[in-house]
Amino acid sequence: MSISQRKAEGGVGSAAAGREFFDENGYLGPFTIYEPEAVQGIWEKARIELLNKKNAIYGNNKMNYDRHLDIKALSDVVSHPEIVRRVQSVLGPNILCWRTEWFPKYPGDQGTAWHQAESFVAFEGDSKLVPTESHDGSWEITVWFAFTEATRETACLKVIPKTHRTWFFDEHRNLPYDPKVSMKGTGSGFYGYDFEKLKIDPNWQPDESQALHFEMQAGQAFMFTSRCLHGSEPNTSKDKTRMGMAIRYVPSDVKVYPNHDDQFTHFGEVFPLQDYSAMLVAGEDSFGHNRIIPPL
């Protein structure tokens, strides 16, 4: 591992040191998965496949979640050994990818407001994730994978380290979806949900001076627990789109959508679950809580 890469991982080399850093800070990375030229080729093909929703499990759904279930190139990213081994260092040997989501920021787009999550009620219905074993530390991880470069100008991810130990938001409250909702004066929003309404203390304000901004090259990945305050600032560029894919992982004891037999709704879209499976990217599933498939 090069010195710059070790530095990029927060000064940690071994898996044990990585785990310690993650437990302490709530994140790890960024780390390089593909060189920028390689990921550009993957992205150019994948974005065309994303337009074809013939085999997409949610049909013609604008969110385009979970396309790793039908697009081989995305399944390859989700199950990439360099991502999976880092996830295993925190979650243990048996890993399910339970969701992939898109986070584009087009030129002029507002930022993503500070937020936290763990069981992903988000923002209608019930917990989407329910662990059945006790866990020492985090039991869900998001790996934010950069398909394009992400800079301060184009809305790179920001986090406030160590905030994963305190809940500032109540993710169990439901919120109505209203595409017209905007979060006053912040330049940020939450895609039609007023995240401010989830604040436990309505007067609390995040300490922006503690925020770290993680610029990333295309092909890099950043790992965090969604409990750690995270978000992004507006894309102030004139012509640069940044595209992130959030890959969400849990250990195999976690029940996924246990109270959502048929469907869930999110961002005004309906997601029927008849064809849904979690993807077992490492280890085994001795629990049998979820329908699972191997990588494509």
Enumerate binding residues for ligand AKG (CB under 6 A).
Answer: 103, 112, 142, 144, 157, 226, 230, 232, 244, 246
Taking the C-alpha atoms of residue 187 and residue 242, their distance in angstroms, rounded to an integer, is: 17
Nearer to ligand AKG, 79 or 188 (CB): 188
φ, ψ of residue 32 to 5 degrees: the values are: -90, 125
Closest distance between ligand AKG and the C-beta of residue 14, in Å?
26
Closest distance between ligand AKG and the C-beta of residue 66, in Å?
14
Nearer to ligand AKG, 37 or 208 (CB): 208
| Of the candidates 231, 247, 241, 238, the residue with the CA atom closest to the CA atom of residue 295 | 247
Nearer to ligand AKG, 188 or 290 (CB): 188
Closest distance between ligand AKG and the C-beta of residue 94, in Å?
23
Which DSSP letter does residue 110 get? P
Q: Is the peptide bond preceding residue 30 cis, with omega within 30 degrees of 0?
A: yes
Which DSSP letter does residue 19 get? H
Secondary structure of residue 36 in the 3-state scheme? helix
Which DSSP letter does residue 38 get? H
Closest distance between ligand AKG and the C-beta of residue 37, in Å?
23
Closest distance between ligand AKG and the C-beta of residue 24, in Å?
20
Nearer to ligand AKG, 142 or 163 (CB): 142
Helices (H), 57-175: 72-78, 81-91
Nearer to ligand AKG, 10 or 189 (CB): 189
Whether 211 contacts 160, CB under 8 Å: yes
